[in-house]
Amino acid sequence: MSDATAPPGRLIRAPESFLAKDDIRKVFAEGRAGRRDFIRSAFSAALASAAVPAALAQSNPVPTEGGDANILNLPAHTTGLGQGVASDGYGKPSKFEANVQRRMSPGLTQTTQSSVSFAPLQSLFGIITPSGLHFERHHQGWWDIDPSKHRLMVNGSDPKLLKTPMVFTMDELMRLPMVSRFHFIECGANTGMEWGNVAVPTVQYSHGMLSCSEFTGVPLKVVLDLCGVDYKRARYVLGEGADGSSMTRTLPMEMVESGEVLLAYGQNGEMLRPENGYPLRLVVPGVQGVSWVKYLRRIEVGDKPWATKDEAVHYIDLMPDGLHRQYSSIQECKSVVTTPSGGQALLDKGFYNISGLAWSGRGKVKKVDVSVDGGRNWRTARLEAPVLSKCLTRFNLDWVWDGKPALVQSRATDETGYVQPTFRQLRAVRGTRSIYHNNAVQTWLVQESGEVKNVQLS
Amino acid sequence: MSSFRKAAAALAALSCVGLAGAQTMAISGIGRPATASELAAWDIDVRPDFKGLPKGSGSVAQGMDLWEAKCASCHGVFGESNQVFSPLVGGTTKEDVKSGRVARLLDAAYPGRTTLMKVATVSTLWDYIYRAMPWNAPKSLKPDEVYALVAYLLNLGEVLPENFTLSDANIAQVQGMMPNRNGMTTAHAMWPGPSMGNAKPDVKAAACMKDCATEATVASYLPEHARNAHGNLAEQNRSVGAQHGADTTQPAGARPVAAVSPKAGSDANAATVALARKLNCLTCHGMDNKVVGPGFREVSQKYATRPDAAAYLAQKISAGGSGVWGPVPMPAQTATPEEVRTLAQWIAEGAKP
């Protein structure tokens, strides 16, 4: 076989994993030797591969003879009998939408069970992620669990932290007072591959560990009340999964007391998908996805945090002083332009709608600014309703592309006044090795050819 | 205000109150007390103060035997392997054991971070191995075996001597030897409660709107040779819309394509790949590359000229084997004879997508 052992392009390991020595040397060598020197400016980069945008088959040319064949020759769907109802008991997208898939990033992980698939943000509209396109992160493979056999147990680190340790069935949990809320979920390692340099070509791989759904369930507080939790002493909560990894994460009791934390079984009008924790998962708004424990089997209340594997070995952020930040959980304000974005090609000059997503783990998005000149001048985008707390917000902005190279960026501000930083601002404080919580402004270079490239400025 | 309007306003105010304070009722008859056996079966977590730790002990020597039998195939004989998962051992020194800070974390040029370089709490190792290891048979280890494995790992990291026996009685002293035990901080703004950190956000930016200072140099982008490394991007975008995907099988600057549909692979081959995935073959075999066992196409190529390749491979799949591609054995598969035949035929024919 040709190059079976050599990965295509650069092999970048899983976000919370290790880079092989050779990869690290290559990254550092490239950093030192300077791709920086290779191209002096964004604009020369674009000019180097300049080509005029082509008028395309689909771009609606003026007909030369009589008119467009698609209009003049009536197609079968206009002249024939279509299909009947319920030909598919659970409908699927059009066959022409087959390109819109969640995908693994080649070379990122060595197994599929401890891995990630990324949501195709470049092809999504509005703020809701279709459940079948929701990003996946499994630590030890996913399961389709029989809900009639699933149980939730609530207990304490010591017997005095609650009156009665209890067991609930799904039937019982679904009888309890029900709420439905829209929230984003983002992996703490989203955009983690881009801390040091550009590593992936498209927004699917750079920002696709992000999804947003309407979740339905019962506030965890309701269930803790039933168990008679001693809220004076029990200031921490542990969630634990029923799968092989039995993932555990610590939450502060204050979040539970606020009523925000849900025991969720519903997602976008139906039950959770198996890949997303069917039949029960935690919803922890604004906090990184790893805390939204899937296949939730147990809640323990305690008086100290647990330092579990995913808060003591992974999901810890390395700072330049050699210390790791532990229990870093909130996803800070961030945004990204999803169209046009890396790996796409604009079909022609003229009018375009720049569209993207903004979110904050601390509340609502207040405004989003968009630049097409690499951050020199900004215009404020339209925020589409609804604008909800700890939820994706869709923004749009008119743009007339003059066919010249453009550096497209978005920058979000949340209701606390926090402004999304540039890479330079972020790295100045946190260095380049923290892996987690990269919320820097993303830059897309629209080249004269119309092709869009993922780039980082400095 | 007219009396009608007043009445309407009063009504509206009332209904608002009604909504906000929607009547709640006491909940009863939902849930039941957990039994002692149920609690014992599921309450397995161990905290840094060792609350929840079962009594027991295990030696470095016992850990080594267990390690080689149950852990080495993924993590390497010395916990150093980078083949399947991140390395567990390496990068710590005797000095780190004294100081409780891993010095190499300061060296930006040092390649990567092992588990022992990061973890501050020995309870984390114990808890995680007990709940989730081995990867394909989680929760199969007994407490004494977990003590032995933790002892062996810490011996590999030169934290514990070869003749050490780790137990519930001495694990607190071992905590005092963890190489990165002083390496964590909660001084940040990202814990979602008042009990830790309580700092202000550390990165500050301003929303300048006009003639802002810029970073006008493109410092990083994918090299041209990686253009198609994530597959053809034309096939990863909707085939209609303002932007189409760039055809990355062509050089940069080529004419964008009007519409590209996914490659038409054979349905039969796709079904066989799905079968291989269902049977967990893909855990150990990549399509092209070795993971634990050889890539499927490596196998195809090795037996390309063997006339009875399909029958030979079928026998290997159902019975298991070792020694042909390396020392790690392939277990016998529980697939049906029909499934085995399908897989063997597919591999013999080149393992096409």
Any domain includes B141? yes
Q: Would you call B48 and A304 a contact, using CB atoms and an 8 Å cutoff? A: yes
For the ranges A14-18, B23-27, B244-248, the lowest mean pLDDT is seen at A14-18
DSSP codes of every residue in B151-184: HHHHHHTTSS-TT-EEETTTHHHHHTT-TTTT-E
Strand order in the sheet with A443-446: A379-380, A365-371, A406-414, A443-446, A452-457, B218-221
B203–A235 C-beta distance less than 8 A = no
Q: Are residues B48 and B170 in the same domain?
A: yes
Chain B residues with CB-CB distance to A158 below 8 A? 51
Residue B115 is assigned to a structural domain of this protein: yes
In chain A, the largest separation of any two C-alpha atoms, in whole Å, equals 86
Q: Give the residue from B158, B175, B192 where a domain finishes.
A: B175
In this complex, which of A16, A341, A454 lies closest to B222 when CB atoms are compared? A454
Residues of chain A with CATH 2.60.40.650: 334-455
Residue B278 sits in the same domain as residue B168: no
**Least confident piece of the model among A34-38, A454-458, B147-151, B314-318:** A34-38
Confidence of residue A45 (pLDDT cuts 50, 70, 90): very low
Candidates A375, A427, A33; CA nearest to B217 is A375
What is d(CA B250, CA B233) in angstroms, rounded to the nearest whole number?
A: 11
Burial of B264 (0-12, 13-18, 19+ CB in 10 A): exposed
A136-325 adopts what CATH topology? Answer: Sulfite Oxidase; Chain A, domain 2 (3.90.420)
The pLDDT value recorded for residue B83 is 83
Q: What is the pLDDT averaged over residues B219-241? A: 93
Distance of alpha carbon B91 from alpha carbon A336, whole angstroms: 37
The amino acid that residue A232 corresponds to is K
Hey, how many other C-beta atoms are within 10 angstroms of the C-beta on A34?
A: 11
- Contact status, residue A150 vs residue B42, Cβ threshold 8 Å: no
Is residue B20 pLDDT above 70, yes or no?
Answer: no
Confidence of residue B342 (pLDDT cuts 50, 70, 90): confident
Q: What is the pLDDT of residue B4?
A: 53
Give the residue-averaged pLDDT of B254-275. 64
Q: Quote the pLDDT of residue A41.
A: 39
For residue B205, is it within any domain? no
Q: Is A315 helix (H, G, I), strand (E, B) or coil?
A: coil
In this prediction, residue B5 has a pLDDT band, given cuts at 50, 70 and 90, of low
* Tokens encoding A173: 């949990």
**From the CA of A279, how many Å to the nearest CA of chain B?**
17
Residue B11 falls within a domain, yes or no? no
Using the 3D structure, point to which of B123, B149, B175 is the last residue of a domain.
B175
If you write DSSP's letter for every residue of A81-143 in order, what string do you get?
--PPTTSSSS----GGGTT---BPPTTS-S-SSSEEEB--GGG--SSPPPGGGS-EEESS---
pLDDT at A282 over 80: yes
Rounded mean pLDDT, B4-28: 58
AA identity, residue A149? K
3-state secondary structure A223-249: HHHHCCECCCCCCEEEEEECCCCCCEE
State in words which class domain A334-455 has.
mainly beta
> Based on the domain organization, do B168 and B281 belong to the same domain?
no
Note whether A316 contacts B: Cβ–Cβ < 8 A: yes
Q: Say if B113 is an interface residue toward chain A (CB within 8 Å).
A: yes
Long-range CB contacts (within 8 A, 24+) of B261-267: B261/A96, B261/A98, B261/A99, B261/B235, B262/A98, B262/A99, B262/B235, B263/B235, B265/B352, B265/B353, B266/B352
- The helix/strand/coil state of A250 is strand
Q: A409 vs A61, which has greater pLDDT?
A: A409
| Model pLDDT, residue B328 | 61
> Could you say which of B135, B157, B175 is where a domain stops?
B175
A106·B194 Cβ contact <8 A: no
Per-residue pLDDT of A127-179, as tens digits, reads: 999 999 999 999 999 999 999 999 999 999 999 999 999 999 999 999 999 99
Q: Which of B3 and A48 is assigned the larger pLDDT? A: B3
Q: Which domain holds residue B305?
A: 267-322+331-348
Q: By mean pLDDT, which of A28-32, A397-401, A447-451, B264-268 is the weakest? A: A28-32
Neighbouring-strand partners of residue A329: none
Q: Identify whether the C-beta of residue A398 lies closer than 8 Å to the C-beta of residue A351.
A: yes
Q: How far is CA B315 from the centre of its chain?
A: 33
Query: How many Cβ atoms sit within 10 Å of the Cβ of residue A6?
Result: 10
pLDDT for B329: 60
Count of the separate structural domains present in chain B: 2
Tell me which DSSP letter residue A269 carries: T
Residue B283 lies in a domain: yes
- Dump pLDDT digits (tens) for A182-197: 999 999 999 999 999 9
* pLDDT band with cut points at 50, 70 and 90 for residue A2: very low
The distance of Cα B302 from the centroid of its chain, to the nearest Å, equals 32
Look at residue A94 in the predicted model and tell me its pLDDT: 96
CB of B33 within 8 Å of a chain A CB? The answer is yes
Q: Which of residues 290-329 of B touch A (CB under 8 A)?
A: 290-291, 295, 297-298, 301
Q: Residue B230: its chain A contacts at CB < 8 A?
A: 9, 105-106, 200-202, 205
- Here the CATH number for the domain that contains residue B50 is 1.10.760.10
For residue A299, give the nearest of A150, A149, A155 by alpha carbon: A155
Name the residue among A371, A374, A400, A415 with its Cα closest to residue B209.
A371
The Cα–Cα gap between B339 and B313 comes to: 12
Q: Kindly report, residue by residue over A405-440, the tens digit of the pLDDT.
A: 999 999 999 999 999 999 999 999 999 999 999 999
- Lowest average pLDDT, out of A11-20, A74-83, A106-115, B260-269, goes to A11-20
**Least CA distance to A3: which residue of chain B?**
B288
pLDDT of A25 > 70? The answer is no
Contact B211, A376 (CB under 8 A): yes
Question: Hey, how many other C-beta atoms are within 10 angstroms of the C-beta on B29?
Answer: 7
Residue B291: pLDDT band (50, 70, 90) is low
Does pLDDT of A5 surpass 70? Answer: no
| pLDDT over 90, % of chain A | 82
